[in-house]
Amino acid sequence: MPGEDEPVPAGESRVRRIARRLQFRWSRTRPWMARLRRNGPSARVVGWATVLSLGVAVVFGVLSLVEDEEDRGEKDEFSVLELSAGQSRPTKTTKVDEATGGRYVSEEEATTLYVYLSNNTDDLLVFRGIKVKTKRFIEVSDCVLGVGGPVQITAGYDIDLPKQGKSANKSILYQLRPRQAEGISITLGTEAEEDGIYELEIFLLGGSEYRKVGEVIAFSYPGLEKLYPRDLATLPLHDFPNASCVRRLDRTLTDFIAQHDSVPKEVRTLQKGVHMTAEELG
């Protein structure tokens, strides 16, 4: 540019002129950079660098606080007061007799999932769906090999418990009034022949996406813990449990309990009964 003691050749193109000016300005910084390497930065430079770094730190600190507040607002929109699956209630189910193929309606006790939330906002919260995902399934049987149940339930539960790694959804209408607490309950069961323990993740559909509420441990049917201990003294030979099967179930339940900070008392009762049977079998 004029005034910088820079010669301007006649007829030079605009691109070449810009490139030459950049090269000229870069050459003028070399003495300053050499002094910086030899003498170090001046007090003025250090001062401005300190002010600049503090300014950047403040800006990023404010942004972090804003993000934290937004995340906290989302998490604190509602509080989980209770999430359990230890209760039961009667429900009508459709059964099929595998021997005859006949269908009939029967009233059964079903495991009940209970969700109790508190709305921490001044707005109405509406959930229009619930999703249950099986994180882990432990099959619990009487360990009588080669024997299956003659009757299978085909319908009747609000949610048919999915296989491990799968999920099941159900449409609901769950409304939480501002600053109020409300609960919902749904029945859980399985149409599969295998019974056992389900470790479940629970999600609610608020708006356009599911939000995780928490995790819960549930039996495929209420009273599963009563399957053990087996009264070996009164069992006929064809109903005698397989010893290795019972010992394997004992180890699995013991490990499962050890991996969790807390489990329902029914799970501990079941494990104790299985362990007693395993010891009696030798």
105-122 average pLDDT score: 88
40 CB-near residues (< 8 Å, 6+ apart): none
Whether residue 108 is contained in a domain is answered as yes
pLDDT the model gives residue 3: 47
What are the structure tokens assigned to 116, written together? 């109790």
Same-domain check for residues 110 and 96: yes
Average model confidence (pLDDT) across the chain: 79
The structural domain count of the chain equals 3
Same-domain check for residues 82 and 218: yes
pLDDT the model gives residue 52: 54
| Three-class DSSP category at 202 | strand
Domain boundary among 55, 72, 89: 72
Whether residue 1 is contained in a domain is answered as no
Same-domain check for residues 165 and 213: yes
Same-domain check for residues 166 and 177: yes
- C-alpha distances out from residue 140 to 137, 194, 204, 212, Å: 9, 8, 29, 27
* Whether pLDDT at 119 is above 80: yes
* Whether pLDDT at 146 is above 90: no
Please tell me the pTM assigned to this model. 0.68
Whether residue 197 is contained in a domain is answered as yes
pLDDT the model gives residue 15: 58
Domain boundary among 173, 195, 222: 222
One-character DSSP codes across 215-275: EEEEESSTTGGGG-S--TTT--GGGPPPHHHHHHHHHHHHHHHHTSS---HHHHHHHHHHH
Q: Domain range holding 232?
A: 223-282
pLDDT band at 193 (very low <50, low <70, confident <90, very high): confident
Same-domain check for residues 22 and 94: no
Say which amino acid occupies 119. N
* Whether pLDDT at 30 is above 80: no
Whether residue 149 is contained in a domain is answered as yes
What are the structure tokens assigned to 201, written together? 């993740």
